[in-house]
Amino acid sequence: EVQLVESGGGLVQPGGSLRLSCAASGFTFDEYAIGWFRQAPGKEREGVSSILNTDGSTYYADSVKGRFTISSDNAKNTVYLQMNSLKPEDTAVYYCAAVVIFLGYYRNYMVPGTYDYWGQGTQVTVSS
């Protein structure tokens, strides 16, 4: 059974940092892409960052470039999202998602519809 479990969310002041974790199980981790998405109240779910565990390629939304860093620990089957210089507009529920990578087949790893498996989400609130 595929499981994705997010952790690390919380309340932080503007300018602060958080590190989210996505612990995966039930599939061959290094054959999958893992994406981080977020959804604020009244807004659509949007892609934040993704990583391909086959070759380490990473992708970022323009709104988080230079502030967020995605990384993967294949030995622990865990993907991290380090979030620095947080802004109130980063407030949302953050989800991680997984999808198998087919080599040579193009996919947009920054859109929710690409992914097959989802975690339950973790709340991030940036407020003074």
Is a pLDDT exceeding 90 seen at residue 104? no
Tens digit of each residue's pLDDT (9 = 90 or more) over 33-64: 999 999 999 999 999 999 999 999 999 999 99
Give pLDDT, residue 115.
Answer: 98
Task: Identify the sign of the CA torsion 82, 12, 115, 2.
Answer: positive
CA distances from 15 to 10, 60, 67, 82, 100 (A): 14, 19, 10, 13, 35
Arithmetic mean of pLDDT, 26-37? 96
Reported confidence tier of residue 31, pLDDT bands at 50, 70, 90: very high
